Structure 1
Amino acid sequence: MNEEITKPQPLTIEEVHQACLVTDGRAGRIGKEIQEGIDFVRKHPRSVSFFGSARFSEKEPDYQKARILAKKIVEETGYTVVSGGALGIMEGANRGAKEAGGNSLGLNILLPDEQIINPYVTESFTFYYFFTRKVSLAFSAETYIFFPGGFGTLDEFFEILTLVQTGKIEKVPIILVGNKYWQPIDRIIREHLYEKYGTISKDDPNLYIITENESEIIDIIKKAPIRKEG
């Protein structure tokens, strides 16, 4: 059997863009939103995406950690900072990027109760569908940084992790910030999924790294390949 058929190659951002050339009905709307979302993130070929809870106020340590980290990333790499554009960790990251004079993007989602775009976003794109937003998020950055969060944050973490694990997108750095939050989740992945149940491979937990060291994070970002050029 043809090995190229049985072992798919990672999707590129251009392949996803071209696959959405549908113009009629709801499928057309979905395809158009995916195309426009990809066009939006592709304007910024060097970027880092932040994920985390929208519930943290600026008084929370994690908010300030995201703010300081995003500011240092912009100052030391010049990269664009991308977030969901809402409050909490997202606001902290956008705020730090803007304070450093960098590009601060928001990939927002239209909800029944209006979602506020934080005032530190310098450019935004609003999605109607959650899954089209996920497509753009999957191709939005050279590095993904996850802070503590709720179901949405965990959903996005496991989405990116699964896409890398299955080879649907090329390997990208996935950084988890917040040892007390992420280490129990890491133990579930290692002790239950791998050791007890054997539902993942031995190397799968190595697809992400848990660290709070800002210098280490910035070094990882600098070494990550650029995904949206060429």
Structure 2
Amino acid sequence: MTDRATDHMKGPILQRRGQVDEGGSTTDQRLLDSRGPTDWVHTDPWRVLRIQAEFVEGFGALAELGPAIAVFGSARTPADHPHYAVAEEAGRKLAQAGFAVITGGGPGTMEGANKGASEVGGVSVGLGIELPFESGLNQWVDRGINFRYFFARKTMFVKYSQGFIVLPGGLGTLDELFEALTLVQTRKVTSFPIVLIGTSYWEGLLGWLRDTALADGKINADDLDMMVLTDDVDEAVALMVAAREHRFPSPAPERPE
């Protein structure tokens, strides 16, 4: 029986027990750290090949995924928390609506969404990231990739998701939410639906955006319209289905001769 608490993912490499690098830095940290000796001049060109490999692996694994929705939320959500149950319901209903479900592959809310999709036979995808305090992909991920670099992983979320459902979460969830909003606002990607589930959790943030950022002219009123706030999973899934049908309309039936 494997103790998942001792698991550690270093890029695509699984480390357990005595093979875990204790206190080791992450690949992202080493890439972005400007301190230390100048031997980076000689090593960074080789890092480009590793970065390239992550994109190749991601594109190869997800190119034929089909319509998919990304579900974001906290890794710290316990399995007995109501947010976990909501994530599970969202994953299940998205799969039943014909979507693959993509999460960050971790525990908590992400695990709930993967579980919901997997248990009804849907496509459950996890895009993990090398972190010193996480133990790899959750058990409900049926198709998983573990990344070393955040920017490669983020590209996969945006490229292969037709919409985002965002449940209560912390800094990582906020990072993913605001990156999606920025890409839509700046028209770097085709507009896709962004739904926040959890009225009591998110209304303070939306209130600050409206009463402070908008009032001070830092955003436009249309920017707030990019998000839909709800407590209803069915509404969230319906918005994803409507966006799919708008983006990929069914061909009109042929008229009889």
Q: What amino acid sits opposite 1:149 in the alignment?
A: G
Structure 1 residue 54, shift from structure 2 partner:
0.3
TM-score, normalised via structure 2 length? 0.75
2:240 to 204, 212, 221: 221
Query: Gaps (5+ residues) in structure 2?
Result: 1-44, 249-257
The answer to whether the 8 A contact 1:38-1:139 is kept is: no
- Kept in 1, the 8 Å contact 2:71–2:166? The answer is yes
| Counterpart mapping for 1:80-99 below 5 A | 80-99=100-119
Match of 1:156 in 2: 176
1:73 equivalent among 94, 98, 120: 94
Name the counterpart of 1:192: 212
Take 2:79 and 2:134, find their aligned partners in 1: how far apart are those partners? Answer: 21
- Partner secondary structure for residue 160 of structure 2: coil
Question: SS at 1:139's partner residue?
Answer: helix
2:139 is the alignment partner of 1:122:
no
1:168-179 matches, cutoff 5 A: 168-179=188-199
Taking the aligned partners of 2:206 and 2:59, their CA distance within structure 1 comes to 31
Q: What is the alpha-carbon distance in structure 2 between the residues aligned to residue 185 and residue 131 of structure 1?
A: 25
The number of aligned residues is: 203
Provide the identity percentage.
38
How much has 1:112 moved relative to structure 2? 2.6
State the partner residue of 1:44.
65
Corresponding residue SS for 1:55: coil
* Counterpart code for 2:85: Q
CA RMSD in angstroms comes to 1.7
Structure 1 unaligned segments of length 5 or more: list them: 1-23
After the TM superposition, which parts of structure 1 deviate over 4 Å for at least 4 consecutive aligned residues?
A: none
CA distance in 1, matches of 2:61, 2:104: 13
Contact 2:106/2:134 (<8 A) preserved: no
> What does the per-residue CA deviation read over 1:150-184, in whole Å, with 9 as the maximum and x for residues that have no partner?
10000110001000000111100001000011110
Q: Return the index of the structure with the highest Cα Rg.
A: 2
Q: Flag the structure with more relative contact order, 1 or 2, with Cα contacts below 8 A and sequence separation at least 6.
A: 1
Task: Look up the equivalent residue of 1:25 and give its one-letter code.
Answer: W
Assess if the C-alpha contact under 8 Å between 1:109 and 1:115 holds in 2.
no
What do the CA deviations read for 1:22-80 (whole angstroms, capped 9, x no partner)?
Answer: xx6222221231232233232212111110000011100000011012112212x1211
Q: Amino acid of the residue matched to residue 111 of structure 2? A: E
TM-score of the superposed pair, with normalisation by structure 1: 0.83
Distance, in Å, in 1 between the alignment partners of 2:91 and 2:134 is 26
Are positions 1:204 and 2:241 aligned together? no
Distance across 1 between alignment mates of 2:62 and 2:196: 22
Q: Distance in 2 between matches of 1:153 and 1:120?
A: 20
Given that 2:105 and 2:141 are in contact with CA atoms closer than 8 Å, whether structure 1 keeps it comes out as yes
Tell whether 2:61 aligns with 1:31.
Answer: no
